[in-house]
Amino acid sequence: MDLSLYNKVFENRLRLQIMGVLLANEDYDFSSLKELLEATDGNLASNLKTLEKEGYITVEKSFVDRKPHTRYRKTTKGQKAFADHLTALENLIKQQYK
Amino acid sequence: MDQKDLIKEIGHIRSIMEKSSKFLSISGLSGVLIGMYALLGAFFAYQKVYGLGGFTYRNHYVTDEGVVVYLAILALLVLALSLGTSVLMAKRKAKRLKQAIWNPTSKAMLAAMAFPLLTGGLLTMIFVCKGYFALIAATLLIFYGLALAAGSVYTFKEVRWLGILEITLGLLALLFPGYGLWFWVVGFGLLHIVYGFIVYKKYE
């Protein structure tokens, strides 16, 4: 079976979810992500860091009312990686049906 | 991972993507209530202008000073009541869905709706100042429809249809001046009730 599309980065559930949210939206901020995914600060931050290091997302820091406000965006690379990974999962399912 | 886990996982991702990009806390029942307020408002407006005596000569002309003020206050009252009901019931539904009512999606939706609504509102005020009363009913329907169509990207697709129908009614109201109240009865009353019922049946 061809598993070349399967992506180890997305084995972590939270990372896959983050990527899904960023695929569906132009951008998303940290606190909204936290609320939506019901994640802790530390867990969310470290997984966002991983995605950033992979070049799947970009980070944009600014200040709103003197509070830090961090926005995340997908990159073209991240978009492709997410789509490929979903294709891999799909293939896995099809494989098991056979 | 076995197959069931995989399918569940993909379904979960799908729902997260939808939840993050669509504001689904709009309550169908609030649509029904808004429609009823509109019908009630229309009844009082009709009574003021035509009286209760059935199909007789009208007692007042809409352009009489007192009548205009009465109708404007009535319309604003219905508007305030409708907005209040929508927000309150959306809050309740958001709580049930464990979704925040003030999130990036609802903000984007309101921003998309703001331009047509503000433009329509200002245009209506200009018409009032200039005395073009005949154009008001149609204008408000059209711009309300445009606002719904713009905001519908962020919520149920039924809202898009509601918007398109409101725009159509507004255009028709321009073609048949003098029947503004009836177009409002259909647009703000009946359409909201039907739409609200469909959303309630389908999603709640």
Map residue A70 onto helix, strand or coil. Answer: strand
Cα B126 from Cα A14, distance rounded (Å): 52
Q: What is the ipTM score, two decimals? A: 0.82
Would an 8 Å CB–CB cutoff place A37 in contact with chain B? yes
Specify the pLDDT at position B1: 54
- Section A73-88 average pLDDT: 93
Among A17, A35, A93, select the one facing B3 at the smallest CB separation.
Answer: A93
Task: Spell out the domain ranges in chain B.
Answer: 27-203
* CATH code assigned to A8-92: 1.10.10.10
Instruction: Let me know the angle formed at the C-alpha of B180 by B179 and B181, rounded to the nearest 5 degrees.
Output: 95
**Residue B34: pLDDT band with limits 50, 70, 90:** very high
- Section B126-135 average pLDDT: 89
B26 touches B155 (CB < 8 A): yes
Q: What pTM, to 2 d.p., does this model score?
A: 0.81
Task: Spell out the domain ranges in chain A.
Answer: 8-92
Looking from the CA of B163 toward its CB, the CA atoms found within 13 Å total 20
Q: What is the mean pLDDT of chain B?
A: 89
Would an 8 Å CB–CB cutoff place A39 in contact with chain B? no
Nearest Cα of chain A lies from the Cα of B21 at a distance, in angstroms, of 6
Would an 8 Å CB–CB cutoff place A21 in contact with chain B? yes
> In B, which residues are within 8 Å of A37 by CB distance?
16
* Cβ <8 Å between A13 and B103: no
